[in-house]
Amino acid sequence: MSIRQAEVVKVAHLARLAIPEERLEGYTHTISDILDLVALMNAVNTDGVLPLSNPLDAVQLLREDVVTETNQRELYQSVAPRVEDGLYLVPKVIE
Amino acid sequence: MTVATQGDLSTLTSKELHHKIVNGDISVMELVEIFLQRIEKYDPQLNAYITVVQDQARTQAIAIDNKIRSGELNHPLAGVPYALKDLFCTKGILTSCGSKMLSNFISPYDATVYDKLNHAGAVLLGKVNMDEFAMGSSNENSFYGAVANPWDITRVPGGSSGGSAAAVAAGLAPYSLGSDTGGSVRQPASYCGISSIKPTYGRISRYGMTAFASSLDQCGVMARSAEDMALVLHAISGFDGKDSTSAMMPVPDYSETLNDSLAGLRIGIPKEFFAEGLDADVAKVINEAVQKFTQLGATVKEVSLPNSHLSVAAYYVIAPAEASANLARFDGVRFGYSCNDPKNLQDLYERSRWEGFGDEVKRRIVIGTYALSSGYYDAYYLKAQKIRRLIKNDFVAAFNEVDVLMGPVTPTTAFKIGEKSDDPIAMYLGDIYTLPISLAGVPAVSIPVGFSDNLPVGLQIIGDYFNEAKLLNVAHQYQQVTDWHRQSPSQFSGV
């Protein structure tokens, strides 16, 4: 196994996924298989090779700092699960 | 098994349909009705559509009929219906991404490509099925169920744009827009016997196209001919201030160069694409297609893409890593699925995401999070990006010697529904011929070039950066001397 169950639990938590106990073994197994597959990369010498993050080697475009968006809070909140008085509702964080 | 019926409206190309409208042979309204009826009749067998927008399509048809008659609208796609993969945002219409997570999401804005097609007078029929968040190669990973291949409904249509491919192949839409991150328009087009193009990275604006892997995603066109793809690609390409990754490159009129002669065209055959793993019968069909190009005046030589075997490994690090970042936005708070009775904020996030995403998406989020996590970034993500550079360099070198590359799209024809659904690795390995192109960011088309055991086989034609015009020219010339692209599955024929 390229990855242990404990690591999967940790990573799932980082990714905010509530993985149930009974699915852990299956996930660990499949993810381990995938990591074995990508381990093929390790055999390749990439010393001195620049990483390619954009296939066109493009750099981030900049534009003038001017206002282009208007306030559309109501429209955007119309698709939210729980909204009140223009605010998104979440469970209480501070007692 | 196959029929090449020229008279059946559902088998006509978009260009032919537009001519019929302009000549007064049929109104946009009549055409839209025919497609709506066909969807009602045939889609229950295929499950290609997630949403059909009957009312909007009819209203739009009346308006466009008037505009064409008054001369206000003369775009070559005016009045021609089409379908959108369900990851393009459409104001007022469900945009589900094939996911439970977005099964209640009505987009508050329009994708740029949808906006452009609306301006051209194209008529949206509906939103089509896909693998959840475009992750998959079989369209089995959809919250809305698997899609069937019109050539054999026990088989997959491919993915992730499986609904698009099935709809076009079965005559439930003349063309469709899909998206391609690792092969997601080319592979389903190949499995379903239709034409498709994945343009150069940055060619088409992705504003309003739900993100999967941002350094790879590109909108693609799926249609009945290269000629149609030229029309659609021209209509939707170009820089967009709303997508900072869209390229500031002029958009040629792709239709103008379709009839250029192929005399002297230099075709490269990447030997790695014909190695172990390629089905012998598929190889035979591909070789016959390449032969046809020599009859048209092209020359063929073997070339090498020595790092292409590393594509699966590099892709299944880069794509999940970027997906894990992109999909972090689904928090159960601002839009999309939200779990019932969350105990606290943590529970709200973790359960909304666990319950809202399907298994393949969750697997990729975990892989991606792992590859980006502290201590592993260099070994996985950075390493994959370096290999990506090597893969790109292979293509740059190849295009110093040849004009286009040709090879198979997939190692086999469409597989059975369920055959690989429990084996993600087997599924991933099927992407071996499409992934190098995606990683390099070069454009490629896939066109139908024959059958193996009554299932379509697709030829992949790969071009240099922003040379879509050459690819469409090459594909069109082939389609002038063959009729594979005019074949339709007989089970779905008739109006």
* pLDDT on residue B36: 98
Tell me if A50 and B335 make a contact (CB, 8 A cut-off).
Answer: no
* pLDDT on residue B1: 38
Domain extent at residue A26: 5-43
Distance spanning both ends of chain B, measured CA to CA:
18
Q: Is residue A57 part of a domain?
A: no
Q: Is residue A22 part of a domain?
A: yes
Q: Is residue A37 part of a domain?
A: yes
Q: Is residue A79 part of a domain?
A: no
Query: Number of folded domains in chain A?
Result: 1
Asked about B184 being catalytic, the answer comes back as yes
Please state, for a pLDDT cut of 90, what percent of chain B lies above it: 97
Catalytic residue among B107, B160, B176, B237: B160
Using an 8 Å Cβ cutoff, are B433 and B409 in contact? yes
Asked about B374 being catalytic, the answer comes back as no
For tokens 């328009």, the residue is B185
**B457 vs B289, B405, B407, B477, CA distance in Å?**
10, 17, 11, 18
Using an 8 Å Cβ cutoff, are B79 and B150 in contact? no
Tell me: the pLDDT tens digits for B244-284? 999 999 999 999 999 999 999 999 999 999 998 999 999 99
* pLDDT on residue B65: 98
User: What phi and psi values does residue B449 have, to the nearest 5 degrees?
Assistant: -130, 15
B4: pLDDT confidence band, cut at 50, 70 and 90? very low
pLDDT (average), residues B331-343: 97
Catalytic residue among B15, B85, B198, B470: B85
pLDDT (average), residues B56-66: 98
Tell me if A19 and B354 make a contact (CB, 8 A cut-off).
Answer: yes
Q: Is residue A38 part of a domain?
A: yes
pLDDT (average), residues B483-490: 96
* pLDDT on residue B7: 52
Domains of chain B: 2-266+442-492 (3.90.1300.10)
Q: Is residue A31 part of a domain?
A: yes
Shortest distance, CA A86 to any CA of chain B (angstroms): 12
ipTM of model:
0.96
Is the pLDDT at B304 greater than 50? The verdict is: yes
